[in-house]
Amino acid sequence: MHEAGQRRVMAFDFGTRRIGIAVGQEMLGRGEPLTMIAARDGTPDWAQLEKLLREWRPDLVVVGLPLNMDDSENEMCLRARKFGKRLHGRFHVTVEMVDERLTSYQAKGEVMAAGGSRNYGRDGIDDRAAVLILETWFNQ
């Protein structure tokens, strides 16, 4: 476990078909895309997640919470919270939820500006969104 300010943080952009993942150091205040894993109706390959968590050993995990613009919650918020609770329950990691309302739109804009989604595939948007979720947490 690292001291506050030096923690390694892993971020998840939860989706029903894909989950984008990013990592970063709190001290640097920025994230790097790590990978994108497939999900079946929101259920990831838990063994694959366990391998990533064991390899990166984050001090904290953040999960994007896709609130509505009026701050109300929707079904995806409930599913993202459930995913966060499962991460905590299975792997005993500290989990924080982060407002991610605009990250997917911002990620898509960045991917398009860099040459379009055909150069990235959907993965580029999902793991980029995870980076933005992580950087949102760093900036709070």
What DSSP assignment string belongs to 100-140? Answer: -TTHHHHHHHHHHHTT-GGGTHHHHHHHHHHHHHHHHHHT-
- pLDDT band, residue 124 (cuts 50/70/90): low
Question: Is 60 exceeded by the pLDDT of residue 89?
Answer: yes
Question: Is 80 exceeded by the pLDDT of residue 105?
Answer: no
Residues 6+ apart with CB under 8 A from 92: none
Quote the pLDDT of residue 123.
44
CATH topology of domain 8-138: Nucleotidyltransferase; domain 5 (3.30.420)
Question: Is 70 exceeded by the pLDDT of residue 122?
Answer: no
- Structure token digits, residue 35: 């990978």
| Domain residue limits, the chain | 8-138
Quote the pLDDT of residue 127.
78
pLDDT tens digit sequence for 22-66: 999 988 888 999 999 999 999 999 999 999 999 999 999 999 998
The pTM for the full model equals 0.82
Question: Is 50 exceeded by the pLDDT of residue 117?
Answer: no
- Structure token digits, residue 109: 């804009």
